[in-house]
Structure 1
Amino acid sequence: MKRVLALALGLLVLVGVGVGYSTFAADRNDDSAVERRALDLTAGGRLVFVDTSRAGGHRTVAATGLGEPPGSARTDSGLRCERFAVGAGTGVCLQTRGGPLPGTDALIVDRTTNVRRRVELAGTPSRARVSASGRMVSWTVFVTGDSYNKTGFSTWTGILDTRTDYTLLNIEAIPLTVDGKRYRSPDVNYWGVSFAADDNRFYATVGTKGHTYLVEGDYAKWEAHTIRDGVECPSLSPDGTRIAFKKRSGNGTWRLHVLDLATLHETPLAERANVDDQAAWLDDATVMYGRGHDVYATPADGGGTPRLLATKAASPTALR
């Protein structure tokens, strides 16, 4: 009997060693092009993103040089995030939280990705943005549902002022004007905030009764009004004149467009694949976005062709 037990224990040890070695080998292979060290979120000439290259869904903030080939070696900060954005050395990391009541933590980090503040949220990570000055931070989480393509989903979108630490966990109560009239409805959902350079104006999507409106908000006056229907996940250009957004197609997919805020003229971009992402701006002339498991870039004027920017990456921010 003892001999049988000893044999069984030996087999378990061997299995454990084999599994451990396989896991180690897989991690080692996944990390072969990754250098772990602190990131400086104020250093220019870098592309910062969420690295999705490792097995098991383990995602961390990483960076490569702007202009480097898509598969170049990347520097890994070790900060675990599902979504990430940065402005002027202030970052926001949306990190899933386990336990009996799973949720999301919004981590506010400094220029070396050290956590300075943690905001506990319900739901699962969706969108994250930081203003160019680093003062204003926003996030969106799904509190029911897990896709903008599903009916019945609900989102919470928050805004945090890092100068005053004033935090709004959900901006749905902001007075909203639709087509010039004060609007109230229990199904209002906001998502995808993008801040203007003055840290006061912001743009977002508000969904209600089957519409997805682009809204412009005034943080100081605490009011918002609709600009155009059919706009989702807006991203304001660095010069403040255009909005990159995803527009729903008839087949249930989205195509990227750019909206001129002065004329409200829409330009479809050369990327024809389905893009379910809040685009970002590589520069004033180029939009970047997650497509599948990679990050691509395409001209903002509708010309040219999409190009691969970073493999196995998401949530890009260009540091210039």
Structure 2
Amino acid sequence: MAPTDHSVLLTIATISGMVFSCAAILIRVCMRTGPRPRLSWEGVALAATILVSLTQSSVVLFAIAHGFGKSAGEATYDDILTRGKAIYFGDILFIIAIWMTKCFTAFVFFRQPFRKSHSKSVLAAIITFTAFMFTSVLLLALSCDLPPPGTPIEKSCTALESVRWVVVASLDVASELLLFSLSIYLVSGLRLRLAAKLAVTAVFGARLVLVAPAVLHAHLLRSALVSGDPSLQEVGAAVCVQVEMCIAIASTAAVAYDPFVTALGAQHGGRVAGGVARQEDAIDLQRAEAGALRVLRAREFRVAAEPREHQ
């Protein structure tokens, strides 16, 4: 890696994240392929989340093509403006992608017949995530001296820019802690074995790893903004963004696969098909069992009535 060009590291991190996201959706498609493939909301939501993350990564690659990660002396003024706008929109897409992963994870609980108080808790958490997302987007969208969106940050704005990301990181960490606390609250009320409860909680606990890159991103960005060459020094912070988004996609995919849905499916007697607990299948199975039981009872009644008729 050249002293005046750190874009290679960011390119590797971005492309690796894109490959991982594509692999996650391909695995999902393969697991859903069967004699009677169904289009579920989980698949659509996961695909939409991954699409937003891929768009964000593509925007980062576009910024790299215009000199992001290289010394400012090696870029033209037009390149500086172009990559500034790309980074601007890429940051907003990043916030939206992370928000979608949180909402997807919380929405999975609506597939289970919890008590009304539990459903209200899930809805309150989703509303909180949405409020945090809009707050973060507004903080990043507004400029201190209101220049055109995406233009390079002036020296007087560096302090405000670092404070923005500190607030965004704080909201991100708070929402992750809220999501993990919600999982503990809901899982504790399920009639599951301890091992199954731990497996479900571990899936949500894996999201706590996101705290590390979120905090590190805010710290590295603050250091880069006060340096003499922000474009060169912001690479470390940009890599943290890609790492955080990759971990978020991984944890979101884990919610759609085992062991999460296996444990929840066992709670309600649902069958696990293609890694997703089918509540509709469980209902169909219960109806079939009830119908078979009625037929069996009718036969027993006829058999018991036949001796009386002969008498």
Q: TM-score, normalised by structure 1?
A: 0.25
Q: Which of the two has greater strand per residue?
A: 1
* Higher relative contact order structure (alpha carbons within 8 Å, sequence separation ≥ 6): 2
Q: TM-score, normalised by structure 2?
A: 0.26
Larger Rg: 2
Q: Which of the two has greater helix per residue?
A: 2
